[in-house]
Chains A and B, each alone.
Chain A
Amino acid sequence: MEAVIAISIGVLAASGVWLVLRPRTFQVIIGLSLLSYAVNLFIFSMGRLRSNAAPVLDGAHDIGAYADPVPQALVLTAIVIGFAMTALFLVVLLAARGLTGTDHVDGQER
């Protein structure tokens, strides 16, 4: 499981970085989205990977039987914030497209 998660985070992050460095605004926004997916997976994996373990403690059971709830709360916050920021960036992107007449990140073709 660790290898699969690690490879998928790596692939997502690498594709994200490559797209962020592309000259079209749409590529940049998709790249940033992929980067944030990679980061979300990373946050999730920081609570150690476990399957079939609930994140909620009830009663005085063995703590080792539960998954760490904190990264799950963190990833939720990160997803919400990332979503809002992507929406905001989309608006700026459209405004830039409307004002400059091109979808190049520098506002002019080279």
Chain B
Amino acid sequence: MDHLAILPVVLPLFAGAALALIDDRHHNVKLAVNVAATLLLVAVSLLLLADVQNGPARISTYQLGNWPVPYGIVLVLDPLSAMMVALTSVLALGAIIFSAARWHRAGQHFNSLFQLLLMGLNGAFLTGDLFNLFVFFEVLLAASYGLALHGSGKSRVKASLHYVAVNLASSSLFLIGATAIYGVAGTLNMADIAMRAPLLSPGDQTLLQAGAAILGVAFLVKAGIWPLGMWLPTTYAAAAPPVAAMFAILSKLGVYVILRLTSLLFGEGSGAEVHLGAAVLQYGGLATIVFGTIGVLASQGVARIACFSVMVSSGTLLAMVGYDDAGVTAGALYYLVSSTLGLACLFLLVELMERGRSPGDDVLAVTLEAYGDDDDEAEQTPEAGSATPGTFAALGIAFVCCAILVAGMPPLSGFLGKFLMIGAMLDTGTAQGEAVSAGVWVTVAILIVSGLAATIALMRSGINTFWVSLERVIPAIHGVEIAPIILFLALALGMTVYAQPIMSFMGTAADALYTHGGYVDAVLADRATGAGR
């Protein structure tokens, strides 16, 4: 596959480094470089996706520095990692276009940090080495600390303080887990660990599982599982909108790593006797959905609704990963892409909707329902762009689409994602002639109720924003701010229309995960013949 696979890591690294050298006064130059680098990244990730789809091998590897596999670090490109890299780059493109209106000027080194965040994300998706994963995690976390603080202000600094502390502690857990696994298995290469795990003595198996469990906690913190995800709503709500849109994929990274490691170490055919943590993922995921749903209903303001929706989405994915079934996972992957697009879109919309509203309005809006309506809003000066009634209508339509997407209502892809997951879950039991278990019904019920709650909460804020206050200031909006929202919604629409080919791709991605030998063989293929290509 040549050197294409390393580009998603190297390109943002060089772009980020170059951007750090340009003086902050030339912010238009920096923005242009950033957009150009992100566009290139989108092109590269689409090439990788085409490579995986049409190439001779589903899974290909890239040896860094051409060091032979068990000793050197290896990047692994399989359908899942290619898809995640593509999703990251598309989200980044939207976020950076949105920030062109004003956010890229709100603080120092926004552009460099943004590119370094992309480097960390892409590296974490591509790497096949446990410690290298830690390094990429730290790269993206360091960049995300900077970005969470972007724009400064009391609420951001307060939220970041918690965010940094929680993530430093979870990084410690990551290190303990990774090195405990090294201490037992004697290797850091994920495929090598997966190959050696079944051969370990029972005592070492226990240590390996303990290490994997500690490692898992670090990723569950990132994914925002209940009760480890309390930092998530505050941090995401305080972050600048383009940053929050990028953060929508950070919680998916935790889910991705858990999916990758559990399928490798404890999945079907891995020789492991127990699927470690399957129950924890299922029950924890369901608890997260319930907690997120309550949060969505209790939230005042769309920003917090979006944050709790991130938790609901994470919880849904974790519960589905816990099922450890290729069909359910394929549906979950479809849902992952669609919900990430929807949530990123919602984070961007929030700022546009709340522009021209006084900060107390959200509290007011909820109390309005209880105590009746009396409009007395102060006039506000528009912050940027031009105000026309058309923009208000466009915002309203975008919000409705976004709400449909996030809540999982027909006809958009959010509904299809949920439908596919529920369908696959109901199939798992009945395929073997068993009745559908009560647990599955409970999961289905929780999934559907969480969608209903999101509908209610988003409809309430939509009515309060767009219908109730007639004398309100029409928000002034730049074209570049509505463009990424249209991009995300168009992608979601595309996912709905081309659901069949996309779903077959997700099917191959899930199969590649669960055909255990595939990943291990592809990575360790060069081992017998010595150094690779």
The answer to whether A39 has its CB under 8 Å from any CB of chain B is yes
User: Does B161 reach chain A (CB closer than 8 Å)?
Assistant: yes
Q: Report the separation of the CA atoms of residues A76 and B188 in the bound assembly, to the nearest whole angstrom.
A: 16
Chain A: minimal CB distance from B323 (Å): 33
Q: Are A92 and B154 in touch, CB under 8 angstroms? A: no
User: How far, in angstroms, from A39 to B142 measured CA to CA in the complex?
Assistant: 19
With contact pairs A42-B176, A46-B182, A81-B138 given, residues A95 and B157 touching in the complex (Cβ less than 8 Å): yes
Contact among B157, B165, B188 for A32, CB-based, below 8 A: B165
Interface string of B122-155 (1 = CB under 8 A from A): 0000000001000100100110010001001110
**B188: A residues at CB distance < 8 A:** 70
Kindly identify, within residues 473 to 519 of chain B, every residue whose CB is under 8 Å from any CB belonging to chain A. Answer: none
Tell whether A28 is near chain B: CB-to-CB under 8 Å: yes
Set B131, B164, B172, B183: member contacting A92, Cβ < 8 A: B164
A32-49 interface with B by 8 A CB criterion: 32, 35-36, 38-39, 42-43, 46-48
Known: A70-B182, A99-B157, A100-B158. A81 touches B172 (CB 8 A): no
Q: Are B138 and A43 in contact (CB under 8 A)?
A: no
Q: Tell me the A73-107 residues at the B interface (CB within 8 Å).
A: 74, 77-78, 81-82, 84-86, 88-89, 92-93, 95-96, 99-100, 105-107
CB distance from A2 to the nearest CB of B (A): 13
Q: How large is the interface on B (under 10, 10 to 19, 20 to 34, 35 or more residues)?
A: 20 to 34
Contact: B165 with A20, CB < 8 Å?
yes
Q: Does B339 contact A (CB under 8 A)?
A: no
A85-B179 CB under 8 A given contacts A25-B161, A100-B154: no
Residues of B within 8 A of A85 (CB): 138, 141-142, 164, 168, 171
Contact count A vs B, C-beta below 8 Å = 82
Q: Does B169 lie within 8 Å of A32, measured CB to CB?
A: yes
For residue A74, which residues in chain B have a CB less than 8 angstroms away from its CB? 131, 179, 182
Check if B179 sits within 8 Å of A43, measured CB to CB. yes
User: Given A42-B176, A74-B131, A95-B157, does the pair A89, B164 have CB atoms closer than 8 Å?
Assistant: yes
Candidates A71, A84, A88; contact of B179 at CB < 8 Å:
A71
Interface residues of B in 168-201 (CB under 8 A from A): 168-169, 171-172, 175-176, 179-180, 182-183, 188
Q: A89-B165, A92-B160 are in contact. Are A81 and B135 (CB under 8 A)?
A: yes
Q: Which residues of B contact A88 (CB under 8 A)?
A: 142, 145, 164
| Interface majority SS (helix, strand, loop, mixed), chain A | helix
Cβ–Cβ contact B176 & A89, under 8 A: no
Within 8 A of A (CB), among B319-362: none
* B168 & A92 in contact (Cβ 8 Å cutoff): no
Point out the residues of chain A lying under 8 angstroms from B175, CB to CB.
Answer: 39, 42-43, 78
A51 and B175 alpha carbons, distance in the complex (Å): 24
Q: Is B58 an interface residue (CB 8 A)?
A: no
Q: Is the CB of B179 within 8 A of A46?
A: yes
Contact of B154 among A71, A86, A99 (CB under 8 A): A99
Cα distance, A78 to B131, chains bound together (Å)? 10
| A96-B157 contact, Cβ under 8 Å, with A20-B165, A46-B180 | yes
Question: What are the interface flags for A16-30 relative to B under an 8 Å C-beta threshold, 1 for contact and 0 otherwise?
Answer: 000010000100100
A96's partner among B131, B161, B172, B179 (CB-CB below 8 A) is B161
A21→B105 CA distance, assembly (Å): 36
Most buried by B among A42, A46, A99: A46
- Alpha-carbon distance A102/B131, docked complex (angstroms): 38
B169/A92 in contact, CB under 8 A: no
Q: Which residues of A contact B154 (CB under 8 A)?
A: 99-100, 107
Q: Does B162 contact A (CB under 8 A)?
A: yes
Q: Residue on B with the closest CB to A45?
A: B183
Q: Which residues of B contact A92 (CB under 8 A)?
A: 145, 149, 157, 160-161, 164
User: For B149, what are the chain A residues with a Cβ–Cβ distance below 8 Å?
Assistant: 92, 95
Q: Which residues of B contact A107 (CB under 8 A)?
A: 154, 158, 161
Q: Which residue from chain B places its CB closest to the CB of A73 in the assembled complex?
A: B131
Write the nearest CB–CB distance from B517 to chain A, whole angstroms. Answer: 26
Contacts of A32 in B (CB 8 A): 165, 168-169, 172
Known: A20-B169, A106-B158. A46 touches B164 (CB 8 A): no
The minimal Cβ–Cβ distance linking B133 to chain A, given in whole angstroms, is 12
**What residues on A are CB-neighbors of B179 within 8 Å?**
42-43, 46, 71, 74
Whole-angstrom distance between the alpha carbons of A100 and B180 in the complex? Answer: 40
CB-CB under 8 A from A48, the residues of chain B are: 183
With a 10 A CB-CB cut-off, give which of A71, A100, A106, A107 has the most chain B CB atoms. Answer: A107
**Cα–Cα, bound, A81→B188 (Å):** 18
B378 CB to closest chain A CB (Å) equals 26
Q: Which residues of B contact A100 (CB under 8 A)?
A: 154, 157-158
CB distance from B130 to the nearest CB of A (A): 10
**The 7 A-B residue pairs with the shortest CB-CB distance in the complex, in nearest-first order:** A46-B183, A46-B179, A107-B158, A43-B179, A39-B172, A99-B154, A81-B138
Q: A46-B183, A96-B161 are in contact. List 12 more A-B contacts (CB 8 A).
A: A20-B165, A32-B168, A39-B176, A46-B182, A70-B188, A85-B164, A88-B142, A89-B168, A92-B161, A99-B158, A105-B165, A107-B154
- Interchain Cβ contacts under 8 Å between A and B, 24 examples: A20-B165, A35-B172, A38-B172, A39-B175, A42-B175, A42-B179, A46-B180, A47-B183, A71-B182, A74-B131, A77-B135, A78-B175, A81-B135, A81-B171, A82-B171, A85-B171, A92-B149, A92-B157, A92-B161, A99-B154, A100-B154, A100-B157, A100-B158, A107-B154
